[in-house]
């Protein structure tokens, strides 16, 4: 076959093959990397276009009326196709339409090999976020001026193909050869192409050794560690914060020296020096990240100690490294080292990967594709961190098999030890001045006696208001029907495709007689699955039969249970099924592990057996803790989806109070822990956060650093007086009223509005009331749990639309950042009190009452005020932002505690009037 590629794109009247027709064709012929022929034409479909297609493509009926019909174009296309690869961005779509049109007009279709640029981009650019043509074009600097027009799409696809071929040719021989062995499984016809490239490389005597680190037939990126600049002769005591911070302006002209930031730096320096802990509330816009990084780096340099920085998520870890650390590295007059350290399972285990490359005989498309993707990625990555690679959901399942895992690590015996990503990260962290980690790893480290993160004595916890939630979650247990069954399914039947089948094949090939053991596990597998089904059905029935059940924020029915005092025949059944399930899980675990010991199977299979044994043990321990053990510091509850399956139930166990644990295991063991966030204090007091995190018995420096924003000029707080109190009306009436207020406000603000709820149920009802009401034509309504997509996706969609209203609950109170005019109004529907039915809050409140404390004043109110501040904080994210906050909960004015919410905000203008008066003010102000 020639090195000839026929790149095509078609626009159509719709998606139905056979019914819909082609309306535009763009085709390009590439030979030896050069465009040798180009063709573009509209096609007359002899039918009218729908308004959607007109809008989508920009093509009008008049543009098609004089265009040729497909039969006139077909012969020329057939000629171009001869002896070529058929290339398109999503081949199945284009090829199906072309074949149908060829068939209809009786022209001859030439069967030819295909190359799909979506599949190839996923394979060869495995770290990109999106494989849409326009996004790939932006990423690769390809001109693509008219997306969804066949001529422009075909040109962009042709350029993309050229890039893909260059990338393919640049890969090392060992990688290409391995991919060649998988080529038959790809949707694209890569076999001959790979053969040609491999032959060409061989003829040119090109070897991989200079550009790649080839080890055991796998090519890795050569790890070139940057040599550190010698700092030894510098006296770090000579460096003053103020003079250093001024240097930042040189590398970032937008950088401003802010009084609050200096105050923050000086407070942290003082806490480090005095070896005490610190609580620092830094208002939005303080520049808090530089505010804690700079004193941490200086302290590390002065003392020679490493400092740990913990952020809430792995995404925030990356963000700090990409932004603030880069700026500081450029600006500071000395070098420093910072390393991101994530949980071990984030890193690829090269040994497992090598074993799986060789051993899996029953690979699915997803597995083979993911193996190839990882092979390409290994030639580029220095970290081996899963967050870098864009895996499909099937690819994620494969990742679970090859991720680093302490239970299967052979450490120094491992042939990959010197190249192991996890080891390298640990080693880098050892010699770093800063280790940037996340709260989950920080807590795992604490739980495992500080064996995961290299030793440290100073720690900065950013987004510290999340620490207690992450701790409760991390130190608790979660079990549900689906995940237990998914785990059991990994065992499978001996004539299936899962573990038991693989064991059977291994015993056959090794001639080991283990058939009775295998039969036994098969029998136990079926019985255990049935028992888990029975157990969860009974738990669900028991839960639904309870009077004290309630609904949580996301609409699940919840019931708090105490295994020591539940009673009745159903509970007896729950207990006996749990007992049997635990016994069966333990038996199956024992039998599978004993088979594993008798097998001299490949490493991959042994790893699977060991990991499965561990996971089965974790589930049986979890069930025992949840349903048999009673600890006074734990709360246990069950959640069920009202419309879920008969066996669907979620079981939880969490510690109620993590303060003692943090006090004993963290604050008492570290010299200085700085906790910072934009929301820690309540009316200038840090008492609540000190008590909930276990800091009451320690010396703590506290500081509240005001935001540099001028809230008085930037925000107005509006409290409509004509909203009913929820207790005075039916919920239906309340949601109708709320909906009508939202509509009235949205008309003035032209959308750009975030509406915050405290329950999903109310969000949903209000959303549909607003949607059903007349008068919001042209507005886009986006609802959490209603519109599809993650929080980030919904936020992105909100930003993209002119007149959008975003309805959110739970995570929307704090997790979104929308600076500028896109967000000009926040409506707080209810003050964010936790539901008294929330299992943890209910138990905490009972305990407080027993101690003679006032749970409302000491728990519910401070927590609600912090959340209120977080919700309010969504509005002003930059110096020039302006906006309004409406609070539709009358308790802010009618209850004595309402003032506490207002005092917690920065000084702002507050208006309390009927809605129409407020709206008049608003339209004058905006």
What is the contact surface with ligand SF4 in residues (CB under 6 A)? Answer: 349-351, 404, 409-411, 414, 416-417, 420, 422-423
Q: How far is the CB of 395 from ligand SF4 (least distance, A)?
A: 19
Q: Residue 754's closest CA among 814, 714, 709?
A: 814
285 is in an annotated binding site: yes
Query: Using an 8 Å Cβ cutoff, are 698 and 686 in contact?
Result: no
Strand partners, 278: 674, 701
Nearer to ligand SF4, 400 or 410 (CB): 410
Nearer to ligand SF4, 407 or 721 (CB): 407
Of 272 and 416, which has the nearer Cβ to ligand SF4?
416
Minimum gap (Å) between residue 451 Cβ and ligand SF4: 15
3-state secondary structure of 132: coil
For residues 836 and 249, what is the distance between their CA atoms, to the nearest angstrom? 50
Give residue for tokens 């002003």.
876
Q: How far is the CB of 387 from ligand SF4 (least distance, A)?
A: 17
Q: Give the DSSP letter string of 821-876.
A: GG--EEEE-S--PPPTTSHHHHHHHHHHHHTT--HIIIIIHHHHHHHHHHHHTTS-
Contact call for residues 861 and 836 (beta carbons, < 8 A): no
Please give the Cα distance from 229 to 226 (Å, whole number). Answer: 9
697's tokens: 């018995």
Q: Residue 432 Cβ, how far from ligand SF4 at the closest point, in Å?
A: 20
CA 850, CA 722: separation in Å to the nearest integer?
A: 40
Q: State yes or no: 286 annotated in a binding site.
A: yes
Cβ proximity to ligand SF4: between 80 and 420 the closer is: 420
**Known binder of ligand: residue 820?**
no
Q: How far is the CB of 222 from ligand SF4 (least distance, A)?
A: 18
Closest approach of ligand SF4 to the CB of residue 425, in Å: 10
Q: How many CA atoms lie within 13 A of 485 on its CB side?
A: 15
Nearest to 835 by CA among 568, 460, 566, 553: 553
- Our CB check for ligand SF4 shows the closer of 13 and 370 to be 370
On whether 288 is known to bind a ligand per the annotation, the reply is yes
Q: How far is the CB of 417 from ligand SF4 (least distance, A)?
A: 5
Q: How far apart are CA 762 and CA 738, in angstroms?
A: 10
CB of 602 to ligand SF4, least distance (A): 14
Q: Is 556 left (phi over 0), alpha (psi -120 to 50) or beta?
A: beta
What DSSP state is assigned to residue 107?
P
Nearest residue (CB) to ligand SF4, 351 versus 890: 351
- Paired sense of beta strands 338-340 and 34-42, if any: unpaired
Of residues 146 and 217, the one with the C-beta less far from ligand SF4:
217
Cβ distance to ligand SF4 smaller for residue 607 or 845? 607
3-state SS, residue 481: helix
CA 27 to chain centre: 39
Q: Residue 454: helix, strand or coil by DSSP?
A: coil
In the complex, the smallest distance separating the C-beta of residue 218 from ligand SF4, rounded to whole angstroms, is: 11
The number of beta carbons lying within 10 Å of the beta carbon of residue 44 is 19
Report the interhelical angle of 393-402 vs 365-378 (nearest 10°). Answer: 70
Distance of CA 789 to CAs 232, 388, 756, 786, Å?
A: 51, 21, 18, 9
Q: Which is nearer to ligand SF4, 414 or 908 (CB)?
A: 414
Q: What distance in Å separates the CA atoms of residue 635 and residue 657, rounded to the nearest whole number?
A: 10
Reported residue count of the chain is 926
Longest CA span, the chain: 90
Confirm whether residue 18 is marked as ligand binding: no
Give the nearer residue to ligand SF4 in terms of CB position, either 9 or 405. Answer: 405
Q: Is 284 a known ligand-binding residue?
A: yes
Cβ nearer to ligand SF4, comparing 235 with 411:
411
- Phi, psi at residue 858, to the nearest 5°? -95, -10
Cβ count within 10 A of residue 453: 21
Binding residues: 282-289
Binding residues for ATP: 282-289
């Amino acid at each position: 076959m020639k090195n000839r590629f026929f790149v095509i794109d078609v626009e159509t009247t719709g998606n139905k093959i056979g019914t819909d027709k082609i309306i535009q064709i763009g085709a390009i012929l590439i030979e030896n990397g050069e465009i040798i022929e180009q063709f573009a034409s509209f096609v007359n479909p002899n039918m009218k276009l729908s308004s959607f297609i007109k809008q989508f493509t920009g093509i009008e009926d008049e543009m098609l009326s004089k265009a040729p019909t497909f039969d006139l174009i077909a012969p020329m296309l057939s000629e171009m196709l001869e002896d070529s690869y058929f290339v398109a961005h999503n081949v199945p779509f284009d090829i199906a339409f072309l074949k149908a049109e060829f068939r209809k007009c009786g022209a001859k279709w030439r069967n030819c090999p295909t190359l799909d640029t979506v599949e190839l981009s996923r394979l060869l650019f495995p770290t990109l976020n999106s494989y849409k043509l326009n996004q790939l074009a932006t990423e690769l600097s390809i001109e693509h001026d008219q997306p969804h027009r066949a001529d422009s799409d075909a040109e962009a696809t042709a350029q993309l193909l050229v890039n893909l071929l260059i990338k393919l040719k640049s890969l090392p021989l060992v990688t290409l050869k391995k991919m060649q062995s998988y080529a038959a499984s790809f949707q694209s016809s890569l076999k001959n192409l790979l053969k040609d490239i491999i032959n060409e490389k061989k003829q040119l005597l090109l070897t991989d050794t200079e550009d790649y680190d080839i080890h055991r037939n796998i090519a890795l990126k050569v790890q070139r560690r940057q040599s550190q600049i010698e700092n030894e002769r510098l006296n770090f005591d000579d460096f003053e914060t103020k003079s250093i911070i001024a240097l930042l302006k040189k590398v970032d002209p937008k950088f401003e020296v802010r009084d609050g930031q200096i105050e923050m730096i000086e407070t942290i320096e003082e806490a480090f020096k005095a070896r005490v802990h610190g609580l620092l509330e830094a208002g939005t816009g303080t520049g808090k990240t530089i505010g804690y990084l700079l004193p941490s780096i200086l302290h590390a340099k002065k003392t020679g100690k490493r400092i740990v920085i913990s952020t809430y998520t792995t995404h925030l870890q990356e963000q700090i490294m990409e932004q603030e650390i880069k700026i500081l590295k450029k600006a500071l007059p000395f070098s420093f080292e910072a390393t991101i350290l994530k949980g071990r399972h984030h890193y690829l285990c090269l040994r497992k990967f090598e074993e799986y490359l060789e051993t899996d005989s029953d690979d699915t498309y997803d597995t083979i594709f993911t193996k190839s993707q990882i092979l390409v990625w290994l030639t580029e990555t220095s970290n081996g961190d899963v967050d870098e690679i864009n895996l499909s959901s099937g690819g994620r399942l494969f990742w679970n098999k090859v991720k680093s895992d302490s239970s299967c690590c052979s450490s120094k015996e491992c042939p990959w030890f010197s190249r192991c990503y996890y080891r390298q990260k640990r080693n880098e962290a050892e010699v770093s001045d800063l280790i940037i980690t996340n709260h989950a790893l920080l807590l795992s480290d604490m739980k495992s006696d500080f064996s995961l993160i290299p030793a440290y004595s100073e720690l900065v916890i950013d987004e510290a208001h999340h620490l207690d939630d992450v701790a409760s979650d991390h130190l608790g247990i979660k079990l549900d029907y689906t995940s237990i069954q998914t785990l059991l399914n990994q065992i499978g039947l001996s004539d299936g495709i899962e573990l038991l089948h693989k064991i059977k094949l291994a015993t056959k090939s090794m001639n080991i007689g283990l058939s009775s053991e295998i039969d036994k596990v098969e029998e136990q597998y079926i019985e255990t699955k049935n028992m888990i089904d029975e157990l969860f059905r009974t738990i669900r029935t028991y839960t639904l039969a309870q009077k004290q059940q309630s609904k949580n924020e996301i609409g699940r029915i919840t019931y708090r249970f105490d295994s020591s005092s539940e009673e009745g025949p159903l509970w007896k059944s729950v207990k006996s099924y749990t007992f049997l399930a635990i016994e069966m899980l333990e038996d199956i675990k024992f039998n599978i592990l004993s088979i594993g010991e008798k097998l001299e199977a490949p490493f991959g299979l042994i790893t699977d057996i060991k990991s499965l044994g561990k996971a089965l043990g974790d589930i049986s321990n979890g069930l025992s803790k949840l349903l048999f053990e009673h600890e006074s510091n734990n709360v246990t509850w069950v959640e069920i989806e009202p419309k879920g399956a008969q066996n669907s139930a979620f079981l939880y166990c969490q510690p109620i109070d993590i303060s003692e644990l943090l006090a004993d295991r963290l604050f008492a063991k570290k010299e200085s822990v700085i906790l910072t966030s934009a929301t820690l204090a309540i009316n200038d007091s840090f008492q609540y956060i000190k008590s909930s995190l276990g800091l009451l018995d320690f010396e703590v420096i506290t500081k509240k650093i005001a935001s540099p924003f001028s809230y008085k000029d930037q925000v107005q707080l509006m409290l409509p007086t004509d909203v009913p109190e929820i207790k005075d009306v039916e919920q239906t009436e309340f949601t109708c009223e709320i909906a009508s207020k939202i509509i009235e406000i949205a008309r003035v603000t032209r959308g750009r509005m975030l509406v915050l709820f405290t329950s999903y149920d109310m969000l949903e009802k209000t959303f549909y009331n607003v949607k059903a009401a007349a008068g919001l034509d042209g507005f886009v309504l986006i609802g959490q749990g209603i519109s599809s997509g993650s929080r980030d996706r919904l936020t992105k969609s909100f930003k993209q639309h002119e007149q959008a209203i975003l309805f959110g609950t739970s995570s929307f109170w704090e997790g979104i950042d929308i600076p500028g005019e896109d967000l000009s109004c926040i409506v707080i529907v209810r003050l964010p009190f936790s539901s008294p039915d929330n299992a943890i809050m209910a138990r905490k409140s009972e305990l407080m009452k027993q101690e003679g404390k006032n749970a409302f004043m000491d728990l519910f109110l401070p927590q609600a005020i912090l959340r209120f501040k977080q919700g309010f904080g969504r509005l002003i994210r930059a110096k020039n932002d302006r906006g309004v906050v409406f609070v539709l909960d009358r308790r802010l004015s009618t209850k004595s505690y309402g003032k506490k919410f207002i005092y917690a905000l920065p000084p702002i203008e507050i208006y309390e009037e009927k809605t129409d008066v407020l709206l008049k003010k608003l339209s004058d102000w905006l």
